[in-house]
């Protein structure tokens, strides 16, 4: 690809300070929300019983809560699921009581007033399984970040590695902060979406890092900031096309995919947007702040044995 002229590049790095300040504010707000509100853990992590029921007309959630409270289910979490006729009921684990019995008792309480209530599904997860899933899910994200740090450090340079991991941690924290702030349910499908966001953001970051390294070796008379701007401009078309096509698919899943994958598509939609932003500003800005230069990326010339001898001798 023919290199663009320097004066035709987009000056991305001129906005790196405002971008870093903006990201810092988002990270602090996300960490604050996670500390105060925490995550709305789904049944996969907390354990307990989940029951989905259907009403012929719009369900009155307050009335359902009163009916369950009268049947000794005052701790039940009641919310709509996809439509006003579908209701999701979550109950904490009950010792010595089977999930099938809990489901029967809940249905008896809801039908006591003579309403026609259909049970759509019932799921049960033990508390030990939920605790194990929480631990394993956190370890999965931590392991992914460590492996990425090692790979990028070996493949490119340690400054790029720290920039890449900073961008990925940035994406994960802000995505979790969104779910904490909106109190969206966080289950295994959302964890899978967060790991997918890590992979998507990493792909963008690797492409940008590879172009920066290539241009550091090709362009001799330019500062580090200018070379990064050129590299980001050259990969901009690819970044936009990839992001837009991915977002179109996710929008289809969000609007017509159904309630079961609504959280999954929400996490990916937000993750793709924030991941595209971080691959442009966070990763490159961190590498630039750490002092990345031509000398760090130009391969060392290894002299062959006897190369300095006069061939005429």
Q: What is the CATH number of the domain that holds 143?
A: 1.20.1640.10
- pLDDT value for 36: 94
Give the number of domains in the chain. 2
Provide the domain limits for residue 77. Answer: 48-125
DSSP for 35-68, written as a single string:
HHT--EE-HHHH-EEEEEEE-SS---HHHHHHHH
Q: Which residue has the higher pLDDT, 108 or 24?
A: 24
Q: Which of 263, 144, 139 is nearest to 199 (CA)?
A: 144
State the pLDDT confidence band at 23, using cuts at 50, 70 and 90.
Answer: very high
200-209 pLDDT, tens digit per residue, is 888 888 888 8
- pLDDT value for 274: 93
Are 148 and 168 spatial neighbours (Cβ–Cβ below 8 Å)? yes
Domain presence at residue 13: yes
Q: How many residues are there in the chain? A: 313
- pLDDT value for 267: 93
Helix (H) or strand (E) holding 222: none
Averaged pLDDT of the chain: 82
Domain presence at residue 26: yes
Question: Looking at the structure, do residues 33 and 52 belong to the same domain, yes or no?
Answer: no
Question: Looking at the structure, do residues 17 and 160 belong to the same domain, yes or no?
Answer: yes
Average pLDDT over residues 33-57: 86
Question: Looking at the structure, do residues 185 and 58 belong to the same domain, yes or no?
Answer: no
Last residue of a domain, one of 110, 125, 140: 125
Question: Looking at the structure, do residues 140 and 281 belong to the same domain, yes or no?
Answer: yes
State the pLDDT confidence band at 291, using cuts at 50, 70 and 90.
Answer: confident
Q: Which residue has the higher pLDDT, 92 or 121?
A: 121
Task: Determine the Cα–Cα distance for residues 216 and 173; give it in Å rounded to an integer.
Answer: 31
Q: Is the pLDDT of residue 85 over 80?
A: yes
Task: Determine the Cα–Cα distance for residues 264 and 177; give it in Å rounded to an integer.
Answer: 15
Question: Looking at the structure, do residues 160 and 262 belong to the same domain, yes or no?
Answer: yes
State the pLDDT confidence band at 4, using cuts at 50, 70 and 90.
Answer: very low
Task: Determine the Cα–Cα distance for residues 131 and 129; give it in Å rounded to an integer.
Answer: 5
Strands lying side by side in the sheet with 77-81: 77-81, 83-91, 48-54, 118-125
Task: Determine the Cα–Cα distance for residues 19 and 278; give it in Å rounded to an integer.
Answer: 9
């Amino acid at each position: 690809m023919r290199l663009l002229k320097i004066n035709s590049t987009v000056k991305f790095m001129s906005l790196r300070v405002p971008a870093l300040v903006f990201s810092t504010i988002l990270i602090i707000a996300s960490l604050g929300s996670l500390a105060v509100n925490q995550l709305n853990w789904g049944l996969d992590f907390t354990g307990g019983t989940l029951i989905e029921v259907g009403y012929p007309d719009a369900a009155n959630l307050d009335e359902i809560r009163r009916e369950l409270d009268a049947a000794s289910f005052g701790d039940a979490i009641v919310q709509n699921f996809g439509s006003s006729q579908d209701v999701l009921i979550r109950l904490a684990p009950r010792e010595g009581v089977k999930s099938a019995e809990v489901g029967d008792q809940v249905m008896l309480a809801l039908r006591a007033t003579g309403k026609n209530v259909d049970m759509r599904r019932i799921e049960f997860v033990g508390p030990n399984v939920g605790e194990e899933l929480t631990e394993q899910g956190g370890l999965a994200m931590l392991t992914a970040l460590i492996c990425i740090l090692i790979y990028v450090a070996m493949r490119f340079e340690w400054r790029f590695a720290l920039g890449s991991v900073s961008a990925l941690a940035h994406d994960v924290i802000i995505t979790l902060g969104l779910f904490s702030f909106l109190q969206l349910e966080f289950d295994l499908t959302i964890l899978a979406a967060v790991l997918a966001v890590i992979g998507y953001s990493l792909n963008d970051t690797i492409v940008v890092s590879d172009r920066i390294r290539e241009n550091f070796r090709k362009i001799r008379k330019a500062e580090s900031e200018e070379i990064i701007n050129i590299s980001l401009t050259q990969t901009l078309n690819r970044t936009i096309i990839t992001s837009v096509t991915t977002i179109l698919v996710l929008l289809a899943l969000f609007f017509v995919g159904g309630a079961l994958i609504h959280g999954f598509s929400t996490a990916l939609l937000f993750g793709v947007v924030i991941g595209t932003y971080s691959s442009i500003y966070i990763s490159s800005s961190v590498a630039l702040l750490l002092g990345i230069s031509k000398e760090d990326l130009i391969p060392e010339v290894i002299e062959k044995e006897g190369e300095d001898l006069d061939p005429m001798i």
